[in-house]
């Protein structure tokens, strides 16, 4: 799992004189050093110099321009989940190597969940490169979104000052002025955030589509629509269907929201809230019954007897506000799937991340809110300690199936819980890690 504490992220440079074909590259030539969690990610072996170095000789301009151009997507576009994988567009905006310009950049990736930014890196072996990077982290690490913005912003501004001293360049300066201007105005900032969440580069989303998204968000609730924005862009055929589809009415009867569940990471908040709710309900380590789930949300037993809605029109599980009730539209057909999605809705409510008047929403994207939901649902339905007691170190396929049946969850949920418990003892490629994590639960 990710490191359990916020980790320092630092970019530093020492200006040097070199001769490049482009003046802007000569002007910003540097000995660049990137540190993450106390590890120098730029540590490398130079084939030209035949020695190890902490820095890499590259101009800062391509990197500063890449950060500035992708600012909104880096800060507000969530990582894609489920079977959709990572698109070329997403990787171009989140993989540092896309800064390109013919330089050998370290293999570093950034993924924001709206509150924190997960950063991970891996070693990319290319024997033809003059620079061979030597360091990679065992696990991704997190920094707060605010810390990420400050470090990137300071780096861009240092590059701009260097350019101003040596020559002058309007492209980066104008781009950075736009970032500052939109960041200072809530209405315009919201447009840029939605544009990024839908997977568009800065100012590339058609105005008509952006206006429609904002109007759509007023029905769903601004906070919830930011969660839905990636699907709004990827699945246009479902836009009207999700508004018109009819579901099952329920009036939640829940304790909370619980105090004292605020943690450093979203998944920690979800687990803490699940434990508190179990304690409040007196469930202890026992499986949660279907009736207990339905009673918490004020839903009838028919939820588990039939689809309850036309799932083909619903790309994700939704609970639409209907006066004092919610209208639930479930995207899963199986009983374990429905139990998990309903538990995510409960998690959304008890962790206070569903503002009044906003719909509830469960997607496969890796935002902070969705992470809370998934972690809550897993711990609420299948507590990790109870699961380990049940399997007693026997992780055979038959035992995992028995555990899934006992807790009435999917085998995938059982495997994911055990994987997350065991992950600290394994060395995974960060890219493999993130692809595996997005399938969790």
For residue 334, the tally of other CB atoms under 10 A from its CB is 9
Whether the Cβ atoms of residue 327 and residue 246 lie closer than 8 Å to each other = yes
**186-213, pLDDT tens digit by residue?**
889 999 999 999 999 999 999 999 999 9
Q: Find the mean pLDDT for residues 23-28.
A: 92
pLDDT above 50: residue 5: no
d(C-alpha 14, C-alpha 403), whole Å: 57
Q: How far apart are alpha carbons 353 and 340 in whole angstroms?
A: 18
Q: What is the mean pLDDT of the chain?
A: 86
- Higher-pLDDT residue of 255 and 14 is 14
Say whether 288 sits in a helix, a strand or coil.
coil
Contact by Cβ (8 Å): 42, 106: yes
For residue 259, the 8-state DSSP code is T
- The token duo for 392 is 């007693």
Query: What's the confidence (pLDDT) of residue 306?
Result: 64
Mean pLDDT along residues 262-278: 87
Looking at residue 430, its pLDDT comes to: 41
Tell me the per-residue pLDDT of 333-361, one tens digit each, with 9 for 90 and over: 889 999 999 999 999 998 876 677 889 99
pLDDT for position 129: 79
| DSSP state at residue 3 | -
Residue 55 has pLDDT above 60, yes or no: yes
In this structure, what DSSP letter does residue 314 have?
-
- 224-266, pLDDT tens digit by residue? 999 999 989 888 888 888 888 888 999 998 886 666 566 678 8
Averaged pLDDT, 151-173: 91
Residue 271 to residues 244, 261, 394, 422, 426: CA-CA distances in angstroms? 34, 9, 24, 17, 22
pLDDT (0 to 100) of residue 190: 92
The answer on pLDDT for 423 being more than 70 is no
Residue 404, token pair as written in the block:
């899934």
Contact 303, 330 (CB under 8 A): yes
Reported as a pLDDT band with limits 50, 70 and 90, residue 130 is confident
Q: Is the pLDDT of residue 136 over 60?
A: yes
- Residue 275: its pLDDT value, please? 93
Q: Where are the domains of the chain?
A: 9-181, 248-437
Q: Is the pLDDT of residue 438 over 80?
A: no
pLDDT at 403: 93
User: What average pLDDT does the segment 167-177 reach?
Assistant: 87
Is the pLDDT confidence value at 282 over 60?
Answer: yes
């Amino acid at each position: 799992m990710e490191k359990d504490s916020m980790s320092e992220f630092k970019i530093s440079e020492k200006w040097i004189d070199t001769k490049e074909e482009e003046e802007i590259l000569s002007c910003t030539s540097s000995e660049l050093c990137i540190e993450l969690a106390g590890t120098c990610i730029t540590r490398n072996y130079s084939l030209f110099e035949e020695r190890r170095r902490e820095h890499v000789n590259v101009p800062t301009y391509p990197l500063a321009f890449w950060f500035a151009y992708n600012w909104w997507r880096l800060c507000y576009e969530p990582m894609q989940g489920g079977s959709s994988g990572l698109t070329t567009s997403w990787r171009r905006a989140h993989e540092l190597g896309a800064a390109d310009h013919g330089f050998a950049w370290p293999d570093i990736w950034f993924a924001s969940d709206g509150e924190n930014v997960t950063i991970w890196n891996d070693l990319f072996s290319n024997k033809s490169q003059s620079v061979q990077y030597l360091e990679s982290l065992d696990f991704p690490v997190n920094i707060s979104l605010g810390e990420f913005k400050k470090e990137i912003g300071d780096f861009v501004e240092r590059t701009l000052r260097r350019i101003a001293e040596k020559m002058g360049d309007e492209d980066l300066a104008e781009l950075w002025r736009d970032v500052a201007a939109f960041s200072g105005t809530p209405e315009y900032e919201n447009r840029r955030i939605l544009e990024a969440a839908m997977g568009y580069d800065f100012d590339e989303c058609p105005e008509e589509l952006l206006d429609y998204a904002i109007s759509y968000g007023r029905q769903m609730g601004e906070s919830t629509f930011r969660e839905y924005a990636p699907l709004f862009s990827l699945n246009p055929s479902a836009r009207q269907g999700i508004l018109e589809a009819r579901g099952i009415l329920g009036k939640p009867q829940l304790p909370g929201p619980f105090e004292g569940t605020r943690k450093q990471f979203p998944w920690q908040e979800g687990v803490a809230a699940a434990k508190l709710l179990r304690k409040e309900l007196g469930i202890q380590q026992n499986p949660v019954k279907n009736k207990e789930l339905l009673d918490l949300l004020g839903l009838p037993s028919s939820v588990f007897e039939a689809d309850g809605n036309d799932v083909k029109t619903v790309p994700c599980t939704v609970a639409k506000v209907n006066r004092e009730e919610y209208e639930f539209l479930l995207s899963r057909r199986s009983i374990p799937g429905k139990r998990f999605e309903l538990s995510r809705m409960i998690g959304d409510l008890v962790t206070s991340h569903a503002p009044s008047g906003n719909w509830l929403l469960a997607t496969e994207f890796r935002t902070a809110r969705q992470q809370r939901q998934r972690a809550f649902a897993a711990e609420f339905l299948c507590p990790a300690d109870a699961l380990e007691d049940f399997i007693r170190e026997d992780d055979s396929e038959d035992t995992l199936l028995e555990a899934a049946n006992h807790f009435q969850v999917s085998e995938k949920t059982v495997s994911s819980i055990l994987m997350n418990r065991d992950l600290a003892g394994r060395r995974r490629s960060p890219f493999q890690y993130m692809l595996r994590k997005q399938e969790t639960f």
